[in-house]
Structures are given as structure tokens and as C-alpha cells.
A = this chain, B = another copy of it.
Amino acid sequence: MKRQNIRTLSLIVCTLTYLLVGAAVFDALETENEILQRKLVARVREKLKTKYRMSNADYEILEATIVKSVPHKAGYQWKFSGAFYFATTVITTIGYGHSTPMTDAGKIFCMLYALAGIPLGLIMFQSIGERMNTFAAKLLRFVRRAAGKEPVVTSSDLIVVCTGWGGLLIFGGAFAFSSYENWSYFDAVYYCFVTLTTIGFGDFVALQKRSSLQTQPEYVVFSLVFILFGLTVISAAMNLLVLRFLTMNTEDERRDEQEAILAAQGLVRVGDPVGDDFGGRLPLSDNVSLASCSCYQLPDEKLRQRHRKNTEQTHGGPPTFAGMTTRPKY
């Protein structure tokens, strides 16, 4: 069976197992509390219904009214600042759902808006993330050189930088949100985490109290900057950690294809491992990445490598390999 099929199947098995385990743990952690809550809520409801002799019909109307009125606490959700906040939660796929389009026109526009906006946002965040990594790498090289060390930066160094930034954002941001929203620090950390992972449950949403959207412009700006800058840092981490894995199957397809070509040229037998020259190696090693780790070594450092490679090639390398690259020609 092809390596990429085995990998995909193992990933499916892993994910399903992960979901089963997660479900079991959530069940164990939350069910008891849920049962208690349900009893409590039911008791209070009945108490109030009997106290005020409220008819079921009226209770249902009141229920619908109250559920509808929840977003109104934030002030006008669709005045510009609120609409901008909403648009941000759409293209980032956070989607708190603290306020959602009610008109059909709004829903249609929301769908079309997301269709173009999500890829645009994704590409922008990845692009800034990659720039941040490149800048961080340059800075680290400069510092190492200044410290008289060899100015080589691996992706692990950059992962440390990203994780540092991410932690700083979540635990630092939590301070601001807990003070603005009167949330416990723990809940604020939970909010920051759920937001920057773009899960966006909506159980905690910033700017939803005391008409903040209209009355606290500085806090609105802070919240938006937190989300946009936070997602950039997360993207930088993703660019280093995840992006390489997203194209693994593609790499393997390339390798198989190049093996086939070489086999057809009678250079190798199909199944023979294809060497580094043919991009066959999976980008798993510490300082290999589909992200911009290629530029985290000094040119002269790379030059030495290339030179070594060239001399190897010109001395021993089979001439038919000349100019054959890991990237397919189109």
C-alpha cells in the first residue's frame, strides 16, 4: 500500500480515536454538573412560574423574548463598530455567534462575504506569519553573531519565539479582558484561547456588556487588534509547525512520480529509495520545513553546502541528473 494512503488511514484512525477519548473525558467531567444545573434551572423556573401564575404560552413568549434580547446588552450590534467586529469574526472563522444576521439579505451577503473573505484572511495571516518568522530569524542571527556564536537559526528556535509570543498574548491579553469584562483571570485565559484558536464558542465574548460597542471605542480597538495580531502570531506558529505536514502526501506523490520517471529511464528500479536530490525525503527533520526555514541559514553557509553538492555532482553525479529539480516543470 502506498505510504501516503497508509498515512491518511492512520490519521483517520488517530482522529476518530482522539474524538472518542475526548467525548469520554468531556462526558466524565461535565455530565454531573449538567444534571445539577438542569435540576436547579427547572426548580427556579417552576418557582417563578407558580409565584406569578404564568401561563405556559406567556412563558414561551417571555423565553423567546429573553433569548432574542441577549445580544442587545452590547449596544447596537450592527452599527459600524459592531458590524466591523462581526465581519472580523466571519473572515477569521471565529464566529462567536454573539450576533448573527437576521435578514435574508444579511445571511446571503454573509455567505458570499465568507466565501472570499476566509481564504483572503487565511492567506494574509499566513503571509504576515511567514514575514514574522523571517524577521525573527534575521534578528536571532544578528544577536548570535553579536554574541560571537555561529549565526545559524533552526525552526526550533523560531518555534520557541512563536510559543513565547503566543503565551504572552494569551496570558497578557487575559489581564486586560478580565479587568474590562469582570471575568475571572482563568475565564479570560479561556476566552483568549478559544478566540485565537478560532473555535469561538461565544460563551465568553468581549464587548457584550454595558453597550461597550458604542461607549468604549478604545476597548473596541484593543479587542480587534488583539484578535488580528493574535491570529498573526498563531499563523506564524502554524507556518512553522503544521504547514509542512499539509503537503506531505504531495511530496510523496512527487517522489513516486520521480521514481517512475527514473525507472523508465532505467536509472533505478521502482521502489528503490530516491535520494535527496529528488525531494523524496519527508520534511520531518528539525530544521526542515515547507515554511521559510530555507532562509534561516546564512547565504555563505548555504553556499558551502551547494558548493559541496556541486563538486560531488561534477565528480560522481550521473550527468543525466543535471538540472532535474524536485519541483515539477509546467
Report the separation of the CA atoms of residues A12 and B126 in the bound assembly, to the nearest whole angstrom. 11
- Establish whether residues B78 and A30, one from each chain, have CB atoms under 8 Å apart when the complex forms: yes
- Establish whether residues A326 and B329, one from each chain, have CB atoms under 8 Å apart when the complex forms: no
- Cross-interface CB contact of A323 among B29, B78, B91, B277, cutoff 8 Å: B277
- Cross-interface CB contact of A253 among B25, B27, B95, B295, cutoff 8 Å: B295
A302 at the interface (CB under 8 A from B): yes
Top 6 A-B pairs, shortest CB-CB distance = A97-B201, A95-B199, A313-B323, A22-B87, A23-B84, A97-B202
Q: Chain B residues with Cβ under 8 A from A25's Cβ?
A: 109, 113
The minimal Cβ–Cβ distance linking A121 to chain B, given in whole angstroms, is 6
Dominant secondary structure at the A interface: helix
Q: How many residues of A contact B (CB 8 A)?
A: 159
- Establish whether residues B303 and A310, one from each chain, have CB atoms under 8 Å apart when the complex forms: no
- Establish whether residues A22 and B327, one from each chain, have CB atoms under 8 Å apart when the complex forms: no
The minimal Cβ–Cβ distance linking A29 to chain B, given in whole angstroms, is 4
Given known pairs A279-B327, A324-B306, A326-B327, the reply for A123 and B300 (CB within 8 Å) is no
Give chain A interface residues in 235-249, CB to chain B under 8 Å.
238-239, 241-243, 245-249
Copies in the complex: 2
Report the separation of the CA atoms of residues A194 and B19 in the bound assembly, to the nearest whole angstrom. 22
- Cross-interface CB contact of A44 among B54, B61, B202, cutoff 8 Å: B61
A105 at the interface (CB under 8 A from B): yes
- Establish whether residues B90 and A199, one from each chain, have CB atoms under 8 Å apart when the complex forms: yes
Given known pairs A15-B124, A190-B107, A200-B95, the reply for A65 and B86 (CB within 8 Å) is no
Q: Chain B residues with Cβ under 8 A from A111's Cβ?
A: 190, 193-194
